[in-house]
Amino acid sequence: MDAKFYEIGEVTIVEVSGRIEPDQNKPFRDVCERRLKDRKVVFCLDQLSFTASANITTFFESISVIPEARVVGLKQDFYRLLELKGISMRTFETISEAITPDNLLSLKKD
């Protein structure tokens, strides 16, 4: 798995591509907890390849520690797995849609 980070205004965009390998789960969770937890984050997953469901589940559990997380480009296989595991994510079709002013208002911190 490869992850690229950049900023659009006050939102951190994380483009994730490739396959998630088991040894990447802990480092990814550490980044989510230490670097991204208090940020507004949009994860772009359209280039993420399906791997073992345990790896994907752990990946999405890591994202879910970020209260202000959004997901873009989620493939149908991932939707089904999340539904089976009971993991809820705010999903959008495009980055533009995820960071529109109306959607960012719902990300606003109190």
> What's the pLDDT at 70?
92
Per-residue pLDDT of 6-17, as tens digits, reads 999 889 999 999
The predicted model scores a pTM of: 0.85
100 by DSSP, 3-state: which? coil
Fold of 2-101: Transcription Regulator spoIIAA (3.30.750)
Mean pLDDT of 37-46: 92
Q: With beta carbons less than 8 A apart as the criterion, state whether 92 and 98 touch.
A: yes
User: Is the confidence at residue 108, as pLDDT, over 60?
Assistant: no
In the chain, where are the structural domains located?
Answer: 2-101
Distance between CA atoms of residues 29 and 10, nearest Å: 21
Q: How confident is the prediction for the chain on average, in pLDDT?
A: 85
Distance between CA atoms of residues 86 and 38, nearest Å: 23
Q: With beta carbons less than 8 A apart as the criterion, state whether 19 and 51 touch.
A: yes
64 by DSSP, 3-state: which? coil
